[in-house]
Amino acid sequence: MRPHRAIRGAAAALIDWERAFEKALAAGDPLAASDVLRRTGTRGWVKKAEYSRAAAIVRAQSASALVRRDWATRLLQHPRRVDKQLAAVILRPLIGTHRADIERAVHRLARDEDWEVRESAASLLGDALEREFSTYLTPAQVWIAAGEPRLRRAVIVAAKYAARARHPDRAERLLDLIEPALADHDEYVRRSLGAFAIGDQLLRSYPDQTFARLERWARDPNENVRWNVASTFTSASGARVAERAFGILAFLAADTRPLVTRAVGAAVRNILRRRPELRDAVAAWDGGQRAVVQRALAASAVTHVRA
């Protein structure tokens, strides 16, 4: 097939699925619409761009809240990934008016066996916190304090997404929201917090407020809390502000517990890899006193020689 014909064929297929999707919704059949959307992907995996286009088509339908709730309810009863993710797409415009429906959807999607579906829950809650912060802060606080691990993790990721808007009056409350999870023993929860939510976003959005918390949290004797603090600086954003982290890492480096030691070592190695010009500064604040820092410096030297 000639290239220009292949391009025209792809464009026609795109238009065809959009029309079929729109027709299914107009007929009041969200499951048929989900079938159409699913066929745009491979083995049940639909690209983000297709979900975005589906959301635009749903908006253009101008369906009432009652209809949207009905569609979402029917979709959530089915096991396929695309059905559940489409339900989140359909419910998103109701964030400001139908809190109970959004809460039920987040609670259900966040506990799903499918990782992509759980991400949909975090995204939906993140949008809800961004748009109606005070309204959804309360259920998020309840979930992170007493919910099961997958639900707690959804709140952490949602807080990260909500922090992107950088509303200055929300900094302290977002940090308060995630604080109970710092001591969480569950690995799935823990690995979504330090480097991911705090290091990759909260530190960027609210640097001063986050550093103040990190300094306070570092003095908590709980090893999981300290792991999260040190892990903040294993992120790219953490390395960019490494100079401010030296005091925190120097303090944590004296903790000989393996969990904390590994996190401190990973943070120092990350800083040295991304900011090699800080090698002498790291050596200076350590003063040869902490084995974990010395090992990171030695590993960095070997890597530098090989390069």
The per-residue pLDDT for 284 is: 83
Where in the chain are the domains? 171-307
| Mean local confidence (pLDDT), 273-280 | 91
The per-residue pLDDT for 290 is: 74
The per-residue pLDDT for 282 is: 85
The per-residue pLDDT for 16 is: 86
pLDDT band at residue 303 under the 50/70/90 scheme: low
The per-residue pLDDT for 12 is: 53
Whole-angstrom distance, CA of residue 176 vs CA of residue 206? 13
The per-residue pLDDT for 305 is: 44
- Pick the more confident residue, 213 or 302: 213
The per-residue pLDDT for 299 is: 77
pTM (2 d.p.): 0.89
Give the tokens for residue 285. 């604040």
Whole-angstrom distance, CA of residue 28 vs CA of residue 26? 5
pLDDT in tens, 219-236: 999 999 999 999 999 999
| Mean local confidence (pLDDT), 89-109 | 97
The per-residue pLDDT for 78 is: 92
HEC states along the chain? CCHHHHHHHHHHHHHHHHHHHHHHHHCCCHHHHHHHHHCCCECCECCHHHHHHHHHHHHHHCCCHHHHHHHHHHHHCCCCHHHHHHHHHHHHHHCCCCHHHHHHHHHHHCCCCCHHHHHHHHHHHHHHHHHCHHHHHHHHHHHHHHCCHHHHHHHHHHHHHHHCCCCHHHHHHHHHHHHHHHHCCCHHHHCCHHHHHHHHHHHHHCHHHHHHHHHHHCCCCCHHHHHHHHHHHHCHHHHHCHHHHHHHHHHHCCCCCHHHHHHHHHHHHHHHHHCHHHHHHHHHHHCCCCHHHHHHHHHHHHHHHHC
The per-residue pLDDT for 5 is: 47
pLDDT band at residue 107 under the 50/70/90 scheme: very high
pLDDT at residue 62 is higher than 60: yes
The per-residue pLDDT for 102 is: 98
| Mean local confidence (pLDDT), 183-190 | 95
pLDDT in tens, 29-46: 999 999 999 999 988 889
Q: How far is CA 50 from CA 34, 56, 126, 156, 262, in A?
A: 11, 10, 20, 26, 41
The per-residue pLDDT for 295 is: 81
The per-residue pLDDT for 14 is: 54
The rounded Cα 190 to chain-centroid distance in angstroms is 12
pLDDT band at residue 165 under the 50/70/90 scheme: very high
pLDDT at residue 7 is higher than 50: no
Whole-angstrom distance, CA of residue 215 vs CA of residue 173? 17
Helix (H, G, I), strand (E, B) or coil at 155: helix
Q: What is the dihedral of CA 131, 134, 136, 141, to 10 degrees?
A: 140
pLDDT at residue 306 is higher than 70: no
Q: Give the E-state strand segments of 208-277 in sequence order.
A: none
The per-residue pLDDT for 13 is: 53
| Mean local confidence (pLDDT), 86-100 | 96
pLDDT in tens, 236-271: 999 999 999 999 999 999 999 999 999 999 999 999
pLDDT band at residue 301 under the 50/70/90 scheme: low
Whole-angstrom distance, CA of residue 257 vs CA of residue 283? 22
Can you name the CATH fold of 171-307? 1.25.40
